[in-house]
Amino acid sequence: MKIVIAQLNYTIGDLEGNVQKMIEHIQRAEQDGADLVVFSELSICGYIPKDMLNYDSFVNRCKDAVEALMKHTSNLGVIVGVPTYNKAEYGKRLFNSAQLLYKNEIKATVHKTLLPTYDIFDEYRYFEPNTSFELVEFQGVKIALTICEDLWNLDQPILYKTTPMDELVKLNPDIMINISGSPYSYNHVEERKNRMVNNAKNYRLPLVYVNQIGAHTDILFDGGSMFIDAQGEIAEELEYFKEDYRFIDWKVGEAYPDNSLDYKDEDIELIHDALVMGIRDYFTKMGFKKALLGSSGGIDSAVINALAVEALGAENVTAVLLPSKYSSEGSVVDAEQLAKNLDCPYKIVSIKDMVDTVERTLAPEFEGLEADVTEENIQARSRGLLLMAMSNKFGSIVLNTSNKSETAVGYATLYGDMCGGLSAIGDLYKMQVYEMARYINRDREIIPEAIINKAPSAELRFDQKDSDSLPPYELLDQILFQYIEKQKGWQEIVALGFEEAIVRKIVKLVDRNEYKRFQAAPILRISNLAFGIGRQMPLVAHFNN
Catalytic positions, written as ranges: 41, 112, 148
Strands (E), 168-315: 175-179, 207-210, 213-216, 219-222, 226-228, 234-237, 244-249, 291-294
Q: Are 86 and 94 in contact (CB under 8 A)?
A: yes
The C-alpha atoms of residue 398 and residue 401 are separated, in whole angstroms, by 9
Classified as helix, coil or strand, 454 is: coil
Classified as helix, coil or strand, 245 is: strand
Per DSSP, helices labelled H in 481-520 are 490-495, 500-512, 514-518
The C-alpha atoms of residue 498 and residue 338 are separated, in whole angstroms, by 37
351 exposed, middle or buried (CB, 10 Å; 0-12, 13-18, 19+)?
Answer: buried
Which run of H or E residues covers position 55? none
Query: Nearest to residue 188, comparing CAs of 532, 537, 535, 525?
Result: 525
b/e code 490-499 from CB counts within 10 Å (16+ = b): beebbeeebe
Query: Nearest to residue 128, comparing CAs of 114, 145, 118, 144?
Result: 114
* Torsion angle, alpha carbons of 424, 44, 270, 197, to 10: 150
What count of other Cβ atoms lies within 10 Å of the Cβ of residue 287?
6
Q: Are 150 and 131 in contact (CB under 8 A)?
A: no
Question: Any bridge partners for residue 105, and if so which?
Answer: 102
Which run of H or E residues covers position 83? strand 77-85
255 exposed, middle or buried (CB, 10 Å; 0-12, 13-18, 19+)?
Answer: exposed
Separation in Å, CA 88 to CA 17, 56, 94, 135: 32, 17, 10, 21
